[in-house]
């Protein structure tokens, strides 16, 4: 009995910790990744469900994956200030000079001409131009120093705290390097593709053109070797990164079992960042299935023009969940609750009437990158009000 009690207590404790958020040190992914990379992760790109992982909470050098942050902040500025991707930017003389340094990834630029934001984003994302990322940091924040502070505040709003960024590009600054965990990189990527999905139109390109220093068109080549790879995972992004002493990194956007996923590999030997990514996706493809959580509930709205005031609320949309296909299907342990104590007709179609927290009876299925979602239950059609007499009678005798 004591052993059984301890086991039940531990299951409850793990469930509580997972549901409280990402600050937990407990990782309950469905599967462990058997890869060469120091860390790895696969998540559902919409819900943030953690499907497979290895050492996903240790902060490691991320190199050019840092550029995903400046890309997010660029898209954020374009949206908030109603600017377009054709906005013209003049790069500083210092950045133009640095862009000529071919000892690191760069695309040559000059301070004597202007570049569109689209030009700079393509240069930063495809061949991983460090100077282009620095130019975007200046555009976003006015200076490199201001950028580090703004980027740290952005990450803090996402729950990624106590991060020190030393460069916008991801290059080392002396002995100091930008570091994030695999989970934190995945969270940055999750925000980027969900808040600004058009960025995938760039990251899925194998090549693009860039204005050369003398006006000629220069070809940019994507460093992502999994684009159009014969693997069936339909990669369309996102970013590679190579550290001087810690190996290669990759954040990918792909499809497995009909669902969009984000992958992360950190500090892989050689090009194992790509082979490890495929190995992780093979594991997910072979060992998981996806089910859509859908349900309905009945509420009583005394003045509704329905039989006895009974109203059916249906799930606004299916909620997809990965699970071990050799294990048990996900079962929610939570109840459906009305969003407010009472409703009064008329009620418009699509109004949210109830919700249910996504929390499963099996704790291993409760690992989500961010706070867990709710299933929303809505009115499937307009709900009309009955007459006063019927409403009064129901209230009196029910």
Confidence band of 63 (pLDDT split at 50, 70, 90): very high
- Residues belonging to the chain: 398
Catalytic residue chosen out of the listed positions 128, 181, 248, 391: 128
346 close to 384: Cβ distance less than 8 angstroms: yes
65 close to 241: Cβ distance less than 8 angstroms: yes
Q: Is residue 357 flagged as an active site residue?
A: no
Beta strand residue intervals within the chain, DSSP E: 31-32, 39-44, 50-54, 60-61, 88-90, 114-116, 179-180, 207-211, 217-221, 237-242, 248-256, 259-268, 288-293, 296-300, 310-315, 319-324, 337-338, 352-357, 374-378
CATH class of 31-287: alpha beta
Q: Tens digits of per-residue pLDDT, 95-121?
A: 999 999 988 999 999 999 999 999 999
Query: What is the rounded distance in angstroms from the CA atom of residue 237 to the CA atom of residue 198?
Result: 11
Q: Tens digits of per-residue pLDDT, 295-316?
A: 899 998 888 888 888 899 999 9
Mean pLDDT of 369-378: 86
The yes-or-no verdict on residue 6 having pLDDT over 70 is no
Least confident span in 7-21, 62-76, 301-315, 360-374: 7-21
Consecutive H or E run containing 79:
helix 67-80
**Domain-wise residue ranges, the chain:** 31-287, 294-397
The residue assigned the tokens 């934001």 is 117
Mean pLDDT of 261-285: 96
Q: Tens digits of per-residue pLDDT, 199-212?
A: 999 999 999 999 99
Catalytic residue chosen out of the listed positions 67, 181, 279, 391: 67
Is residue 239 part of an annotated ligand binding site? yes
Q: Tens digits of per-residue pLDDT, 212-249?
A: 998 889 999 999 999 988 688 999 989 999 988 899 99
Confidence band of 326 (pLDDT split at 50, 70, 90): very high
What SS3 class is residue 165?
coil
pLDDT at 245: 87
Choice between 156 and 244, residue whose per-residue pLDDT is larger:
156
Closest CA to 32 of 62, 52, 46, 17: 52
Catalytic residue chosen out of the listed positions 47, 53, 64, 181: 64
Q: Is residue 64 flagged as an active site residue?
A: yes
């Amino acid at each position: 009995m004591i052993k059984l009690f301890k086991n039940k207590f531990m299951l409850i404790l793990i469930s509580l910790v997972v549901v409280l958020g990402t600050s937990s040190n407990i990782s309950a992914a469905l599967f462990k990744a058997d890869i060469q990379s120091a860390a790895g992760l696969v998540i559902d790109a919409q819900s943030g469900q953690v499907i497979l992982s290895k050492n996903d909470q240790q902060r490691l050098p991320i190199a050019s994956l840092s550029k995903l942050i400046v890309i997010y902040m660029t898209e954020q500025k374009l949206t908030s200030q109603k600017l377009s991707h054709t906005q013209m930017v003049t790069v500083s003389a210092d950045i133009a000079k640095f862009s000529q340094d071919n000892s690191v990834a760069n695309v040559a630029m000059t301070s004597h001409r202007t570049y569109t934001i689209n030009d700079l984003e393509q240069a930063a994302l495809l061949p991983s131009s460090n100077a282009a990322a620095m130019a975007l940091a200046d555009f976003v924040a006015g200076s490199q120093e201001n950028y580090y502070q703004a980027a740290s505040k952005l990450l803090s709003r996402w729950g990624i705290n106590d991060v020190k960024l030393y460069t916008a590009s991801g290059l080392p600054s002396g002995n100091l390097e930008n570091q994030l965990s695999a989970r934190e990189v995945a969270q940055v990527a999750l925000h980027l593709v969900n808040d600004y999905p058009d960025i995938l139109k760039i990251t899925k390109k194998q090549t693009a053109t860039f204005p050369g220093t003398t006006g000629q068109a220069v070809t940019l080549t994507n460093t992502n070797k999994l684009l159009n790879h014969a693997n069936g995972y339909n990669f369309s992004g996102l970013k590679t990164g190579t550290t001087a002493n810690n190996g290669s990194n990759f954040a990918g956007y792909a499809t497995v079992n009909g669902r969009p996923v984000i992958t992360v590999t950190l500090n892989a030997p050689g090009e194992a960042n790509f082979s490890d990514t495929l190995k992780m996706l093979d594991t997910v493809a072979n060992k998981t299935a996806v089910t859509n959580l859908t349900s309905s509930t009945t509420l009583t709205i005394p003045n509704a023009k329905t039989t006895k005031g009974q109203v059916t609320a249906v799930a606004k949309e299916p909620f997809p969940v990965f699970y071990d296909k050799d294990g048990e299907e996900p079962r929610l342990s939570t109840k459906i609750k009305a969003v407010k104590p009472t409703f009064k007709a008329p009620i418009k179609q699509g109004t949210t009437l109830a919700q249910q927290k996504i929390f499963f009876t099996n704790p291993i299925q409760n690992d989500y990158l961010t706070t867990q979602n709710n299933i929303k239950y809505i009115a499937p059609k307009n709900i009309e009000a009955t007459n006063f007499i019927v409403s009064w009678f129901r209230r009196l005798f029910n």
